Each structure stands twice: as structure tokens, then as C-alpha cells.
Amino acid sequence: MSSTNIILAPTPEIRAACDLIDDAIGRFLSARGRTLDGYAELGRYEADRAALPLFNVAIRSVEGVLALARTDLVLFPAAMMAARGAFETSLKAAWLVDCDAHFDRERRWLQLLESEERMEARLAGHLAKAGQDGSDRLKRRDELRAFRLEIERRFPDGYAALKGAPSVEQMMETLHDPQLYVAYIYLSQFLHGERAAASYYTPTSQPRRDAVTADDWSFPLKVVWLAFFRGARKLLVRFGGDPDSFMSEGEEVEVRNALAMVG
């Protein structure tokens, strides 16, 4: 969307909130770099190693929401979908390392690996239904399974395997805020094309004049901020860092106040 074709321009309040979140991301990346430089066990455990790039995905998703907010406020549906992705990915990265015992965390990583096996099997099955060759997917599934089973064979006693992948609701304890699950449910309505999302787009006499307002943007911005802030602090603690070196609870109030000004 070109700058000459903006339908609903971002407000100063939205721009200010986005700037603060952007600044916080930079502060976290600096704090994480310092923390990892002093973390002797970096790379030794799969769960720890997997959580870092997964949280990078969450950060890019947050940045996607910010980019949409700064471009045109009618891009609200895309922001809601990106916010859901940011929330779930941040949550999963934090959940991966939300155990004190290394091997409990490794059990969680194994569940992530098994989930990838299931994905490859599903892709192979649907490729076959479409008359295409899914053998490469099955080969990849078998490689993942063989790798996982070998790890399982060597796993120390006393660390019970998870009974299936946890739901988002079950992982919510990691972020210590059950209300965020309520937000997740509402964000999902946009991703799955439900009626709640369409309510912003009832036909009007002015084509493309969506029923979105600047106030509506407080929802995706608040969700991505809380998911990012709490996930970031969780990761820093796990790698032996000081979460306040990124942002203290007191400093976070400034961001919350800016978000409250959005709507």
C-alpha cells in the first residue's frame, strides 16, 4: 500500500506506542546477547537451543504488527492474525524452557520434534490424495522419528514423557496470565475467518471505508506487547541473565501507559 493511498492514517498515539515496543525489542536483543555470552551451557541442550530461534520468529511477528500499524489502520485484520502468531510462538518458546531441570525441558523439546513428524506425515498423506509424490516427506518423517527414538533410548530415568502436545490453554501457565487466553480466542476468529472478524466489514455506502477505528488497535498491540515482554523475561532468566537488564517491571509501566492512550 503506497503512502499516497492511505485510507486510515496511524494516529500519533499508535506511532508512539509502536516506537516504545520497537525500542524494547532492541533492548531485549542487547540484553540477550550479553546474557548468552556468559552462558556456559549454550548449545548443550536442544530445548534451550530451540527456544532462541523460536522467539526470533515471535519477535518478527511482533515487528509485523508494528509495521502494519504504522502503514494504514485498515490493515487491522492482518495485524490480528500476526498478533495471534506472535502470541503463540512467544508462548511456546517460553514454555520450552519453563522447567528448572534440563531433562524436563528436553522432554518438551522431544514433543516439539514429534509434532514435526506428524506434520510431515500429514503433508505426505495430502500430497498423495492430490496425486503427487509425498515420498520425500515420508523420508523426512522417518529420519525425524529415528532421531527421536534414539534420543528416547538414551534418555535418563526419572523424566516422564509428555502425554501428547500441550494445548495453548495448558501452556498458558508459563506466562502467568489466564486473561491472555481470552485474547487468544478472539484473535483466532480472524485467522479462521469467523463472523466476529467480518463484523468490522459490513457493507457500507463507502467502499473500503472499514469499520475499524484507531481504538481497535489497542487490542493487537497490547497482546503482542504482553506476550513479548513476559516471554523475553522468561528466556533471560532461564539463560542466567537479569530480566531487569532488559526492562524492569517499573519501566514497563511506560509502555502500558502508551498503549492505554491508543484506546
Q: Do 128 and 173 belong to one domain?
A: no
Q: Answer yes or no: is 234 within a domain.
A: yes
Q: Answer yes or no: is 106 within a domain.
A: yes
Place of cell 526470533: 56
Q: Do 55 and 81 belong to one domain?
A: yes
Query: What pLDDT is stored for residue 203 in this prediction?
Result: 62
Q: Do 172 and 47 belong to one domain?
A: yes
Q: Which residues form the domain of 199? A: 7-99+166-262
Q: If you average pLDDT over residues 146-153, what whole number do you get?
A: 92
Q: Answer yes or no: is 2 within a domain.
A: no
Q: If you average pLDDT over residues 218-225, what whole number do you get?
A: 97
Q: For the chain, what is the domain count?
A: 2
Q: Do 216 and 87 belong to one domain?
A: yes
The Cα–Cα gap between 131 and 7 comes to 44
pLDDT tens-digit readout, 155-164: 888 887 778 7
Query: What pLDDT is stored for residue 177 in this prediction?
Result: 79
Q: Answer yes or no: is 1 within a domain.
A: no
Q: Do 75 and 140 belong to one domain?
A: no
Domain boundary among 138, 158, 178: 158
Residue 22 confidence class, pLDDT cut points 50, 70, 90 = very high
pLDDT surpasses 90 at 198? no
Q: Do 210 and 90 belong to one domain?
A: yes
Q: Answer yes or no: is 65 within a domain.
A: yes
Backbone angles phi, psi at 192, to 5 degrees: -100, 5
Residue 204 confidence class, pLDDT cut points 50, 70, 90 = low
Q: Which long-range contacts (CB under 8 A, 24 or more apart) does 166-175 make?
A: 166/95, 166/111, 168/88, 168/91, 171/91, 171/92, 171/95, 172/91, 174/91, 174/94, 174/95, 174/98, 174/234, 175/91, 175/94, 175/226, 175/227, 175/230, 175/231, 175/234
Q: Do 152 and 174 belong to one domain?
A: no
Q: Do 117 and 130 belong to one domain?
A: yes
- Percent of the chain exceeding pLDDT 90 equals 73
The Cα–Cα gap between 52 and 38 comes to 15
Q: Do 203 and 93 belong to one domain?
A: yes
Q: Do 116 and 231 belong to one domain?
A: no
Q: Do 73 and 170 belong to one domain?
A: yes
Query: What pLDDT is stored for residue 129 in this prediction?
Result: 96
Q: Do 35 and 52 belong to one domain?
A: yes
Which pTM was predicted?
0.91
